[in-house]
Amino acid sequence: QLQLQESGPGLVKPSETLSLTCTVSGDSISNDNHYWDWIRQSPGKGLEWIGNIYYTGITKYNPSLNSRVTMSVDTSKNQFSLRLTSVTAADTAVYYCAKHIGRLNWFDPWGRGILVTVSS
Amino acid sequence: DIQMTQSPSSLSASVGDSVTITCRASQSIRNSISWYQQKPGKAPNLLIYTASTLQSGVPSRFSGSGSGTDFSLTISSLQPEDSASYFCQQTYITPYIFGQGTKLEI
């Protein structure tokens, strides 16, 4: 059964870089047509799609975050990662990783989520 | 971006009732909408995709309908475990946008 698990620091200082990793188990991150997404949820902005990555390294980002986001994939570890630079309090949220298939574009399953707080 | 306007933001109902949640897209998205249920402290869980297809394992009291710009999620014969927040998501084009959510209290 496919499971995703987010990991990383729960506290990041303003202006620094948020770095999270999602570990995939029960499925190969290199499967054709599987895309790996990051989504965040904050009280103020609700659910916000951040972007996704394919195992070849091809990425697609939300234009609202495009200049600050970088995603990467490590197929040997079955992991993918998110970096968000120059964070502010507005980036405080629960961050989820999730999978979608090809052009189907709905997310299933999701990881449990990790709360990241931006504060000095 | 395609915006999704979801309503109501909250509602209260009783066991056995039927409720409908709606989402309106800012432009046609054909049938490219999915619905999720989220319970406190948990990740969203996929209920319905392509507007009306029930995800495996989801009870048949959940149903979805609509096309173009107007969509609805109906929960019939409400059960206590249906108390949760519900979100729509357009799956038509990036950036994928979610509705603001509906909090359902049973």
Kindly report, residue by residue over B74-84, the tens digit of the pLDDT.
999 999 999 99
Cα angle at A92 between A86 and A93, to 5 degrees?
Answer: 130
Element (H, E) at A80: strand A79-84
What is the nearest CA distance from B71 to chain A, expressed in angstroms?
16
pLDDT value of position B43? 97
Instruction: Tell me whether residues B95 and A63 touch, CB distance under 8 A.
Output: yes
Kindly report, residue by residue over B28-74, the tens digit of the pLDDT.
999 999 999 999 999 999 999 999 999 999 999 999 999 999 999 99
pLDDT exceeds 80 at position B4: yes
Q: Residue B50 corresponds to which tokens in the numbers above?
A: 């392509």
B11 falls in which pLDDT band (50, 70, 90)? very high
pLDDT exceeds 80 at position B23: yes
Q: 3-state DSSP call for residue A91?
A: helix
Kindly report, residue by residue over A49-86, the tens digit of the pLDDT.
999 999 999 999 999 998 999 999 999 999 999 999 99
pLDDT exceeds 80 at position A12: yes
Q: Does A48 touch chain B (CB under 8 A)?
A: yes
